[in-house]
């Protein structure tokens, strides 16, 4: 779901679809949180902190972090729209 699509749902005051999307985003957030937890158990923080940003060990972490950042942007926007519509 893009920010433009969320804005369109907000403009049409489609609270039900926003709520459904919010639940989906929340589930994805939990999945990514679990991934970070497992990654942290597999690789200690000291190893990650010492590794260069573009090292092979950091690449999956960086990719997942970018995904998480985008997800959180959508999550907060969807939450904001739902709060305003209530």
Total domain count, the chain: 1
Distance CA 24, CA 19 (A): 9
pTM metric for this prediction: 0.87
Q: pLDDT tens digit string along 59-70? A: 999 999 999 999
Over residues 20-46, the pLDDT tens digits come to 999 999 999 999 999 999 998 888 777
The residue segments making up the domain with residue 15 are: 3-85
CB 76 within 8 A of CB 1: no
């Amino acid at each position: 779901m893009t920010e433009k699509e969320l804005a369109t749902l907000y403009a049409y005051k489609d609270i039900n679809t926003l709520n459904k999307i919010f639940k989906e985003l929340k589930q994805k957030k939990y999945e990514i949180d679990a991934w970070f937890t497992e990654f942290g158990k597999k690789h200690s923080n000291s190893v990650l902190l010492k590794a260069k940003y573009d090292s092979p060990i950091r690449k999956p972490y960086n990719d997942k972090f970018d995904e998480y950042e985008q997800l959180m942007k959508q999550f907060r926007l969807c939450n904001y729209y739902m709060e305003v519509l209530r």
